[in-house]
Amino acid sequence: MLVFLVVLFRASSVKLFTLHSPMCSISIGAALLFLSSMGAATSAAQSTASPPSDAATRANALYQQGLSVLKKGDLASARTAFEKVVRLAPQSPESHNSLGWVLLAQGEVDRAIAHFRTAVKLNPKFAQAHMNLASALAGKKDLHGALRESQEATRLAPNDSETHHTLGRILDFSGEVAGAISELRRAIELEPQRAELHDDLGTVLVQESDAQGAATEFSEALRLQPNYALAHFHLGVLRYQEKSFEEAAQHLQKAVQLNSADPGGHYYFAQALKGRGETDAAIHELQDCVALKPDYPDAQNSLGLLLQHSGEVGQAIKPFRQAVKWQPENPDAHNNLGLALLQTGDGNGAISEFQTAVRLRPTDSGYRGNLGAAYLQVADFDAAVSEFQGALKLTPQDATLHYDLGLALKLKDKLPEAMAELHKAAELDPRQPDVHYTLGVTLWQQGDFAAAAEELRRAVHAKPDYAEAYYTLGTVLKQKGELQDSLSALREAIRLQPDFAGAHTTLATVLRQLGDAEGAAAESRTGMEIAQQKTGDQAALFATNSGRRLLNAGDIEGAISQFRAAISSSPNYAAAHFELAVALRQHGKSEEAQKEFRKATELDPRLMPPPSRKK
Domain assignment present for residue 452? The answer is: yes
Q: Of 129, 51, 132, 122, whose CA–CA distance to 89 is shortest?
A: 122
24 and 142: one domain? yes
383 and 454: one domain? no
415 and 337: one domain? no
Which of these ranges, 20-29, 257-266, 428-437, 601-610, has the smallest mean pLDDT? 20-29
CB-hemisphere CA count at 13 Å for 175? 2
Domain assignment present for residue 488? The answer is: yes
CA distance 289 to 264: 7
Answer yes or no: is pLDDT of 337 > 80. yes
Domain assignment present for residue 384? The answer is: yes
- Indicate the pLDDT class of residue 284, thresholds 50, 70 and 90: very high
CB neighbours of residue 21 within 10 Å: 12
Domain assignment present for residue 196? The answer is: no
443 and 411: one domain? no
**Arithmetic mean of pLDDT, 604-615:** 69
- Indicate the pLDDT class of residue 177, thresholds 50, 70 and 90: very high
Contact status, residue 384 vs residue 418, Cβ threshold 8 Å: no
Answer yes or no: is pLDDT of 5 > 60. no
**Arithmetic mean of pLDDT, 555-566:** 85
Domain assignment present for residue 283? The answer is: no
367 and 469: one domain? no
Which of these ranges, 4-13, 278-287, 458-467, has the smallest mean pLDDT? 4-13
Q: Of 412, 438, 413, 416, whose CA–CA distance to 425 is shortest?
A: 438
Answer yes or no: is pLDDT of 47 > 70. no
Contact status, residue 122 vs residue 91, Cβ threshold 8 Å: yes
- Which residue, 152, 170, 187, sits at the end of a domain? 152
- Where do runs of H (alpha helix) occur along 242-296? 245-258, 263-275, 279-292
Angle (CA) 193 195 199, round 5°: 135
Q: Over pLDDT 90: what percentage of the chain?
A: 73
**Arithmetic mean of pLDDT, 56-60:** 86
What pLDDT score was predicted for residue 31?
44
- Indicate the pLDDT class of residue 53, thresholds 50, 70 and 90: low
348 and 373: one domain? no
Burial of 612 by CB count in 10 Å (0-12 exposed, 13-18 middle, 19+ buried)? exposed
Query: What is the distance, to the nearest Å, from the Cα of residue 65 to the centroid of all Cα atoms in its chain?
Result: 46
Q: Give residue-wise pLDDT tens across range 312-325.
A: 998 999 999 999 99
Number of domains in the chain: 5
CB neighbours of residue 72 within 10 Å: 10
Range of the domain at 308: 294-359
511 and 550: one domain? no
299 and 355: one domain? yes
Domain assignment present for residue 105? The answer is: yes
- Which residue, 426, 441, 471, sits at the end of a domain? 426
28 and 140: one domain? yes
**Arithmetic mean of pLDDT, 463-489:** 95
CATH number for the domain that contains residue 320:
1.25.40.10
Q: Give residue-wise pLDDT tens across range 249-269.
A: 999 999 999 999 999 999 999
What pLDDT score was predicted for residue 612?
60
Higher pLDDT, 107 or 9: 107
- Which residue, 129, 152, 175, sits at the end of a domain? 152
Residue type, 482: E
Domain assignment present for residue 509? The answer is: yes
486 and 546: one domain? no
Domain assignment present for residue 53? The answer is: yes
Q: Of 159, 91, 158, 165, whose CA–CA distance to 132 is shortest?
A: 165
Q: Give residue-wise pLDDT tens across range 105-164.
A: 999 999 999 999 999 999 999 999 999 999 999 999 999 999 999 999 999 999 999 999
23 and 139: one domain? yes
324 and 415: one domain? no
Q: Give residue-wise pLDDT tens across range 396-409.
A: 999 999 999 999 99
Q: Over pLDDT 70: what percentage of the chain?
A: 90
